[in-house]
Structure 1
Amino acid sequence: MSLINKMLQDLDARGTPDGRGDAAGIRSVPERERGVSRALVFGGAAGLTAAAIALGWVYLKRPPVPPVLVSVATTPVPAPVSAPVAVVPAPVVAAPVAPVVAAKPEPVFQAEEAAPAPTRARSAELRRITEKPAKPAAAPVVKTTAPVTSERIIDGKQVTAQQRVENEYRRALAQLQDGRVSDAMLALQQTLQMDPRHQGARETLVRLLLEAQHPDEAARQLQLSLALDPKQPAQAMMLARLQLDKPNGGAAALDTLMRSLPHATDNGDYRAFLAGVLQREQRYREAAEHYQLALQTAPDNSVWWMGLGIALQADNHPAQARQAFERAKGLQTLSPQLQAFVERKLVQLTAATAK
């Protein structure tokens, strides 16, 4: 915004006359005329002096005129003046009458004498007095209370709590893409502080913690997530794997899987993993049951058939175990090591049944 300052100039550019008369027109007065004029001048001067004294006496004895008070409370205010008002100085009044002084619209002041001010100052004062005060604009409504937790104003836009969470999560992913792993982990933790149930942020943070060789912190994050929402089979399986790596961690892993089992009844991978943990804890009958339920979702999974054969053999069901091993071998999808393992198991079962 540019401000233009107007310079007011009230200088009389015109020159004043030099006051010089015509020297050529001066002539000497004869002595006779000079003598007559002197007597007349003295007589006229004396008469004028006496008349002035008499008039002054009469003037001074005249009763003074009381000062005029103006109440501007009832005086109508003129319309706003758009252009500056030129002020013409008032003529000098010989009588000692107090000048009329205008006042502000609200209070009423007594009239007082004021010394003449420069033209520019008097113009500004007259504009201030005569212009009708503009109606003040309504002040914007400002909330004094703290913003609600679900909404916030950012860059002049109203942003909900969920939008803030997603913005923070996207910022973490952008930092991760730029290779700033530490910053990304901090942003993910900030996202989880705002929304502990954000599964994308939780799983990404767990993966980064595992890559950074922090399995204990990764397990803690998974436990926090499952405590809030156990309906997360994938996280339960991940936590169970971390718990199995601990000494005597089979019981903790089994407890984790059993708590989330009601939310994974149709998940074959989940049931097969649970069956493997049960088999490790020597709970072979339960393991066989979950392997059979898992195979209902994926009948051609040779690894699960092999696991079922192990559980049945350990639970003293050799015939059923042999059938399971034969099915695993016949699918021809096992690795060479597992294929060899299944063949050895078949030899053992064949020899046992032959006796």
Structure 2
Amino acid sequence: MSLINKMLQDLDARGTPDGRGDAAGIRSVPERERGVSRALVFGGAAGLTAAAIALGWVYLKRPPVPPVLVSVANTPLPVAAPIPVPVTAPVAVPAPAPIAAPVPIATAPVTPEPVLPAEQTVAPAKLRAAEMGRITQQPAKPASAAAVKTAAPAASELILDGKQVTAQQRVDNTYRRALTQLQDGRVADAMLALQQTLQLDPRHQGARETLARLLLEAQRPDEAARQLQLSLALDPKQPAQAMMLARLQLDQVNGGAAALDSLMRSLPYATDNGEYQAFLAAVLQREQRYREAAEHYQLALQTAPDNGVWWMGLGIALQADNHPAQARQAYERARGLQTLSPQLQAFVERKLVQLTTVATK
């Protein structure tokens, strides 16, 4: 406050002409006014003190530093009297058995983590060793049947040129290759491909018949007959092959019985086949079984009533079975159709004359 009074006195002295201040105007600050200024100063000091105290309080009450996360397994549980764990006494872990291949994690059974007693603490390294020992001791499960089926192609499927080919497709491809080689005139290669087709599918009727015909053209009838016999033994439901085999057997000495046997085995599957019935009738007629021959000729004519050759065969069978009237009717029907060759037409005319002569006697 004395400094402030001195400054006021200096300013007042500069304001007078003679350099002296107005003695009457200059006076000391009364004690009452000095009390007000001290109050202000004391109040400011008190405010600064309060601010310092507040700052100290804030500093003392600042939030603690966030705790650092630590692994529970790495931090021992706080106990009143911790029990020392000997370092030289690890957890007993069986030695892992040797494994041929690592067990995939995806297929390993999920087991719960081992629960330790509350008063026991185990180091993380020991815990991982115990867990690895438990996993490695579990035997590897064999792959399921579905997995094996998915991993490898089925036995009936093959991989050719990067494509999956079924057994039936392989048979068809081999047979088509044989036909292509046959069209190109490569008969030997075609026969080999046909044999390969039959090895893949012994019941392939087209390959069997084609191979038999090629063997016949190559003057190898015995091999052709053997191929047909193998085919009919596997599947007698093949009338065309039975007829082909019967023709080959008829060319052999005393082959009529074998031909009849082949035809009779496939007859149940050719009841509506006129060609088959007529051929069987001709073989029966050759074996002098005329009544049966006449019956099969009649069955054949039900499918083709205008076949002159079959009418002629029926007349021969009836005449040999001592039925002249019925035989003459059959001959007349064969002559009337005008479908016979000149030689057969002449044969029928002679039979009619013979029957007429016998009837007039």
Common topology (TM > 0.5)? yes
> TM-score, length-normalised on structure 2?
0.58
Could you tell me which residue of structure 2 aligns to residue 304 of structure 1?
310
Distance, in Å, in 2 between the alignment partners of 1:324 and 1:265 is 22
Question: What one-letter code is carried by the residue in structure 1 that aligns with 2:320?
Answer: A
Aligned residue for 1:265, secondary structure, equals: coil
Aligned-pair CA distance for 1:170: 1.1
Q: Does 1:214 align with 2:220?
A: yes
Residues 203-257 of structure 1 show CA distances to partners (whole Å, capped at 9, x for unaligned) of: 1111111111111111111111111111111110000000000010000000000
Question: What one-letter code is carried by the residue in structure 2 that aligns with 1:277?
Answer: V
Counterpart selection for 1:275 from 261, 270, 281: 281
Distance, in Å, in 1 between the alignment partners of 2:324 and 2:285 is 16
C-alpha spacing 1:175/1:317, structure 2 compared with 1 (3 Å): same
Could you tell me which residue of structure 1 aligns to residue 160 of structure 2?
154
Counterpart selection for 2:206 from 200, 206, 215: 200
Could you tell me which residue of structure 2 aligns to residue 349 of structure 1?
355
| Percent identity for Structure 1 against Structure 2 | 87
Equivalent residues in 2 for 1:36-55, closer than 5 Å: none
Distance, in Å, in 1 between the alignment partners of 2:236 and 2:251 is 22
Equivalent residues in 2 for 1:228-239, closer than 5 Å: 228-239=234-245
Aligned residue for 2:254, secondary structure, equals: coil
Q: Does 1:255 align with 2:261?
A: yes
Counterpart selection for 1:182 from 177, 185, 188: 188
Distance, in Å, in 1 between the alignment partners of 2:346 and 2:353 is 11
Could you tell me which residue of structure 2 aligns to residue 322 of structure 1?
328
Aligned-pair CA distance for 1:149: 3.1
Question: What one-letter code is carried by the residue in structure 2 that aligns with 1:302?
Answer: G
Distance, in Å, in 2 between the alignment partners of 1:234 and 1:275 is 16
Aligned-pair CA distance for 1:142: 9.2
Aligned-pair CA distance for 1:172: 1.0
Distance, in Å, in 2 between the alignment partners of 1:284 and 1:143 is 62
Could you tell me which residue of structure 1 aligns to residue 173 of structure 2?
167
Residues 251-289 of structure 1 show CA distances to partners (whole Å, capped at 9, x for unaligned) of: 000000000000000011100000000000000000000
Contiguous gaps of at least 5 residues in structure 2: 1-146
Counterpart selection for 1:333 from 329, 336, 339: 339
Distance, in Å, in 1 between the alignment partners of 2:149 and 2:235 is 37
Distance, in Å, in 1 between the alignment partners of 2:309 and 2:301 is 10
> TM-score, length-normalised on structure 1?
0.59
Equivalent residues in 2 for 1:118-129, closer than 5 Å: none
Residues 309-353 of structure 1 show CA distances to partners (whole Å, capped at 9, x for unaligned) of: 000000000000000000001111100000000000000000011
Distance, in Å, in 1 between the alignment partners of 2:299 and 2:149 is 60
C-alpha spacing 1:148/1:247, structure 2 compared with 1 (3 Å): same
Could you tell me which residue of structure 2 aligns to residue 284 of structure 1?
290
Distance, in Å, in 2 between the alignment partners of 1:274 and 1:143 is 52
Question: What one-letter code is carried by the residue in structure 2 that aligns with 1:305?
Answer: W
Distance, in Å, in 2 between the alignment partners of 1:275 and 1:220 is 24
Aligned-pair CA distance for 1:145: 9.1
C-alpha spacing 1:145/1:210, structure 2 compared with 1 (3 Å): farther
Distance, in Å, in 2 between the alignment partners of 1:214 and 1:235 is 16
Give RMSD over aligned pairs. Answer: 1.9
Distance, in Å, in 1 between the alignment partners of 2:150 and 2:277 is 56
Aligned residue for 1:158, secondary structure, equals: strand
Question: What one-letter code is carried by the residue in structure 1 that aligns with 2:301?
Answer: L
Q: Does 1:293 align with 2:293?
A: no
Could you tell me which residue of structure 2 aligns to residue 15 of structure 1?
none
Equivalent residues in 2 for 1:138-153, closer than 5 Å: 148-153=154-159
Aligned-pair CA distance for 1:148: 3.5
Contiguous gaps of at least 5 residues in structure 1: 1-140
Question: What one-letter code is carried by the residue in structure 1 that aligns with 2:339?
Answer: T
Distance, in Å, in 2 between the alignment partners of 1:342 and 1:220 is 38
Question: What one-letter code is carried by the residue in structure 1 that aligns with 2:225?
Answer: A
After TM superposition, what 4+ stretches of structure 1 lie above 4 angstroms from structure 2?
141-147
Residues 173-193 of structure 1 show CA distances to partners (whole Å, capped at 9, x for unaligned) of: 111122111111011000000
C-alpha spacing 1:302/1:205, structure 2 compared with 1 (3 Å): same
Q: Which of structures 1 and 2 has the bigger CA Rg?
A: 2
Higher share of residues assigned helix:
2
Question: What one-letter code is carried by the residue in structure 2 that aligns with 1:191?
Answer: T
Could you tell me which residue of structure 2 aligns to residue 264 of structure 1?
270
